[in-house]
Each structure stands twice: as C-alpha cells, then as structure tokens.
Amino acid sequence: MSVEITRLPSGLVVITDSMPHLETASLGVWVGAGSRDERADEHGISHLLEHMAFKGTTRRSARQIAEEIEAVGGDINASTSSESTAYYARMLRSDVPLALDVLADILSNPTFDPEELAREQNVIVQEIGACEDTPDDLVFELLQATAFPNQPVGRSILGTRESVRSFDAAKLRAYLARHYRAPNMIVAAAGAVEHAAIVEEVQRLFAAFSGPPAPEPEPARFAGGARLEPRDLEQVHVTLAMEGLAQRDPALYSLQVFTNALGGGMSSRLFQEVREKRGLCYSIYTFHTPLSDTGLFGLYAGTDPQDARELMRVVIDEIAAAAETLSEGEVSRAKAQMKAGLLMALESSSARAEQLARRMLAYGRPIPTSEIIAKVDAVTVESARAAGRALIARSRPAIAALGPAEGLEGTVAIAEGLGRRAA
C-alpha cells in the first residue's frame, strides 16, 4: 500500500500517497471545521476566513502569494463546506516545499489587513448576490434551511450581507484560534511526494498549531417542512429532501446505491420516467450527502409551471415504488457506477489527496479503496430496498421550490404524500 501516515505529537496528522510515475504533487491542509461550527454571531465566518487566508501574511502580500505559486506553474485554492475547510495546491515535484511553506504561512501568519478585509467582504456580498440570481443554486440554500431550521448546519455557508460585513480581524482571529488546532487538522499529499520529507517540513512549518481538539458542533436536527418562493422565472425549481444517514452508519452504502439507482444517471428510474418517457424536465437527479451525525437525501428538478404538479406526482410514485421493486439490474448498474467513480479517482493526485483527508476526518484512519468497494459489493437488492423504505419512514420531507406561483401550488401536498405512504 502506498499510503503512509504519521501523527505528530501535537495531534496533527500527515498522510501521503506516493505516485512515483508522476512529476506533480497535490497537497493541502484540511481543517475539521466549517459552517456548522459557527456560533450565532459568526454566520459566514468560516468562508470569509478561507478567503482572507490569501489576502496577506506577515511575510507575503496577497500579490506575492499568487505570484510565488504561479511563478513555478502551480495553482492554489481553497473551499469551505459544512464540516471542513480545505486549502490546497498542485505543483511540480521540486516545488512541494514551496507549496507547504505558503500553506503554512497563510494559516499561521494572516494579517487580516482592514483594507483587504473590506474588499473581500464586498467580494463575498457579490457572491451572495450571484447565488440569489441563480435559482438552481438558491433553491438548495432554501432546502438546507428548511431541512435543518434555526441551526448552524441549515445556514448558508456564505452567510448574509449583514453578518459578513460585521466581522473584524479580532473575530476572525478568535474563530481561527478556537477551531484551527492540530488535532483537527490533516496535511494530505499525493503524487510525486516522499512521506518522510513531507513530515519533516510539516513539523517545522506547522509548529504554531497546538492545543486540545476544537469544540464539537451542535447536533443536527432534521425537521422537514416547506418553503415556497414565488419568482418571475421561466421554470419552477423544485427540491425535496429527507433525512439521510451519517458517514459511519452501517446502511450508508445501501442508501447510496438506492440513491444512484433512483436518480444518479441516465439509466436511473427518475431520468427515464420523468425526462425520457414523459418529457417533464431537462434536469432531474438525486443525491445523498452524509455528515458526521446525519445525512441529507435530496432531489432536484426544474420544470414548466404547468408541469410541476405532474412531475411531483411522478417523483413521489417512483421513490415509493423503488423502495419496493428495485431490480437486480438497477442495483448492479448503480454499484458499477459507484465503483468506477472510486477507481477513476485513483488516477488523479488531487482526488487522492482529498480522499485521504476526508476519510481521516470522517473515520480517523485511511480507508483503502478496496474496503469501500467491498462494502459496495455487499449491497443486495433487499438491503437497497430496505434503505429506501427506511428513508421514506424516517422523517417528514423537506420541500423547497421557487418559480411562478401557479407552478408552486399543490406541490407540497403531493410531496408530503410520501410520508403518509410510509405511515
């Protein structure tokens, strides 16, 4: 196995996957803190902190950070999710030390210059505006808030205009000090890397991170319900969610197979029935996102207002039917899709590094791809059906939709019929 792991005395984990045939390396720092770790007065601060990391340190200006990386042909970026924040780079083999130095610098020595902060707050306000102008993005924000109301996991990662503009350097430093601690951090690298060399550099560069693990986030509480927003649009954008499963739940892979067979590809039930047979939409798909203590099964479709009620009826019928009649062929195709996705990702150093980090955060150990494939292979027709039945019975659905008012009418009552069938 090419994966090596070292846990430093501080608690910080270094994990690498050597791919000797490559001339490039992908590496990054994953922090086990995201938007659901924010306090009530910190809505959006995780995402703002990710942006501000690139806006200057005590050693480098924002321009120098970009120029040093691009001068050697590399790239650097970051992302924020509900439960983690990642800072990552891709470089040539010889420039891995530079990438580690820059990553450590932006996290250890940010200046949070007031002028840079004001500019970046304005950038994020523009990002919020762009989301609000994009209905197939905005509807997912509404769905998350409906599924998990009045709690951090249900709030937008971006924050609000008011919350983003309220943050100052002191708040950013307080959040960073509370959550960016060694036991909550993973340095992962894949590609043209040597484990011992990475460990040596990380020990030196990340010495400033210490302390006990960060506090646990507030437990998630799925509620369900409905949120309909009339908008002057050409389409109705409809989303439906039910409470899914946590990352470590034994039935996770059965539910993932059910989700893929239902709406994960062109051969899926929903694509074939709703788009191909009835022509009710252009786009329709399902997904399941596992978190540390819960999960979210979701569905999205965009349709003409006059077709919204029929689309919702067909969707509800197909979800209920799949839980009872999913076939061996459907399960086999879904499993093949999942396994192919896992194996294809092994060809990318960036995907490997991300997988290493996310599996360490979720499971506390590097899960071999072969172990995951074995769990996928173990899913049976009955276990996939059972996962679907449990999904339907677990909670009242959450529905979020936006578009012309005439297209929204009646969709909630139809969707909630799924829960009544389970009862």
* CATH code of the domain covering residue 68: 3.30.830.10
Per-residue pLDDT reduced to its tens digit, 38-90: 999 999 999 999 999 999 999 999 999 999 999 999 999 999 999 999 999 99
Q: What percent of the chain has pLDDT over 90?
A: 94
Residue 310 covered by a domain: yes
pLDDT at 423 over 80: no
Same domain, 263 and 357: yes
d(CA 14, CA 186): 6
Same domain, 14 and 87: yes
pLDDT at 1 over 60: no
Residue 183 covered by a domain: yes
Same domain, 19 and 157: yes
Active site residue 50: yes
Tell me what pLDDT residue 2 has: 87
Residue 321 covered by a domain: yes
Residue 213 covered by a domain: no
Residue 149 covered by a domain: yes
Same domain, 316 and 178: no
Residue 212 covered by a domain: no
Per-residue pLDDT reduced to its tens digit, 291-321: 999 999 999 999 999 999 999 999 999 999 9
Domain that holds residue 69: 3-205
Domain boundary residue, one of 149, 171, 205: 205
Residue 66 covered by a domain: yes
Length of the chain: 423
Same domain, 191 and 243: no
Same domain, 343 and 280: yes
Residue 283 covered by a domain: yes
To 10 degrees, what angle do helices 328-345 and 381-394 make?
Answer: 90
Tell me what pLDDT residue 406 has: 86
Same domain, 287 and 410: yes
Which one of 23, 38, 42, 50 is the catalytic residue? 50
Kindly list the distances between the CA atom of residue 320 and the CA atoms of 227, 281, 314, 323, 418, in Å, as whole numbers in the listed order: 23, 20, 10, 5, 7
Same domain, 335 and 369: yes
